[in-house]
Amino acid sequence: MIIRSKAAGAASPLTVMSEVSEVLDSRSAAGRPSVTTAVSDRVALGIADMFRSPTPSGQVLERFARTGTADSVELLAAARAEQGFASAEGHAALHCLIGWVRKQLHYAGPDR
């Protein structure tokens, strides 16, 4: 399914890390966190921008960061692939990007 960010641009790396920390704290405090507890569209674009590269997964992230549009399956696969090479902080940010994709799929519902 094609998913879209409504944000006009990506958040800065500082904003990304701050919101990632807040979302992870919020999710860990909840016994069963809702799928809707996720980073904002701007931060999702910022995470993708931070991990763009010439690798196949990096190119998926680069396209998403640039256009705000991606195939959900490709974006999930790219984020998971990049997690294997990321620092602990980067892994956490990519985890939040995965959560953002799941939130988009949740709102799209089964009929879309």
pLDDT per residue, tens digit, the chain (112 aa), is: 999 999 999 999 999 999 999 999 999 999 899 999 999 999 999 999 999 999 999 999 999 999 999 999 999 999 999 999 999 999 999 999 999 999 999 988 765 4
| pTM of this structure | 0.93
- pLDDT value at position 109? 73
The total of other beta-carbon atoms located within 10 Å of residue 44's CB is 32
CA dihedral 31→45→88→102, nearest 10 degrees, is 40
What pLDDT is recorded for position 110? 65
